[in-house]
A and B are shown apart, each in its own frame.
Chain A
């Protein structure tokens, strides 16, 4: 089994076998993270460029650490959003990056499709670290990895994703990932935040959180962007959102007794998730962060090795 793609753009493009392969390799990388010396020479002399057109401390650190633990050289470029709304700006930057000898470009960009665009124009492997409202594949991979470590499988599980499904690339990638590996996926949120036509992807749509939680094995709470409240059309106000869609202890009782609680972070405690729920043993939110490094190591390794025929 090997990755057949030059780039990692989204989980929509990957076969279940490729996803499983990345998860298996992440298991070996996780072992490296548990060592006292968390560094292996696998990608010595290779160059990873983190190109971030949107601020994202977590994802950037995670990719940077992943590259460093594999002994690759890393450069991080934080580009100002305003100067790069056009594709041409991105392409110019990318060409420069390639001329400097990058083997992998990790791209975070506010426009959907930016990573695919870049991938078509550079020889380096491109990893999508979040493109607009489209996909965030490494986040979904680390979520799958975390669930698999706890439950031993993905197939047959019921996964409930709660929150702003409409604007969430994390939700979109997770829907692809969990469905491809055989889980039953439910989404739940206010009707204004559920995109139409989701059922066609085989997803069950709920508007009542209580119903969506019934018997769930995994409860995935999305971060609610506070600016959605000012955009009057989406939500009435934070209090009402918390009252209807906030995950609290009573609601969680409707899920399986051992249901995992997950969140991509950073959390708005008291809004989408109650502080006491976030502190439960089965809330694996911090572990998701650690697993994120392992999964990104696996992705970097597999993509860089792919080109070596």
Chain B
């Protein structure tokens, strides 16, 4: 419904919980194992989280990888706001955060980490942003939730959970670093 100043006010209600804190931990542990298996260890490996919720997820995956393999991998944070092509459709002024990648990406095997994979446009922007920083050997994609509805030919290499959704729904990944708790819920727009 039209809101104050022409803004669209959307009311969402929680429909179902997909993951709780424990489920999220187990899912991330499995993904960490898969990343190690596919890359045959940690050599040249680096994780890059897409701001904002991809960053804490990347850090957790890195911690799990260190626990499993006994070796640390570098972690960076990528802000893609300046690379988005859908800004004209947003009704607010986006905030640009700093990109913090303090290792050279050239020659690295980069695992890009995000919370939800949806249209694929965020990932495309992230690929552009990453390429501007150097020339990685390989870029792989890890997402906690794949909710479908792709608009670009992009698929993830590591998926925590596939969650078929309708476009009326929204997948909310909450992490304790930002939201104070760990869980994933599906919310539905009220008509």
Contacts and interface: CB of A to CB of B under 8 A. Distances in A.
Nearest to A25: B96
A40 B79 contact: no
Interface stretch (A28-36, A168-176, A214-222): A28-36
Given A40-B83, A41-B83, A305-B87, A25 B132 contact: no
A70 B129 CA distance: 13
| Chain B: number of interface residues, binned into ranges | 20 to 34
B96 A28 contact: yes
A201 interface: no
B6 A309 contact: yes
Contacts of B132: 35, 37, 39-40
Interface string B116-142: 000000000000110011100000000
Nearest to A42: B82
A27 interface: yes
B87 A308 contact: yes
B88 to A, nearest CB: 5
20 contacts: A2-B93, A24-B95, A25-B95, A28-B79, A28-B97, A35-B132, A35-B133, A36-B134, A37-B133, A40-B82, A40-B83, A41-B82, A41-B83, A42-B81, A42-B83, A305-B87, A305-B93, A306-B93, A309-B6, A309-B91
Interface of B: 6, 79, 81-85, 87-88, 90-100, 128-129, 132-134
Given A32-B82, A42-B84, 9 more contacts: A28-B81, A36-B134, A37-B132, A39-B132, A70-B82, A301-B82, A305-B93, A308-B87, A309-B91
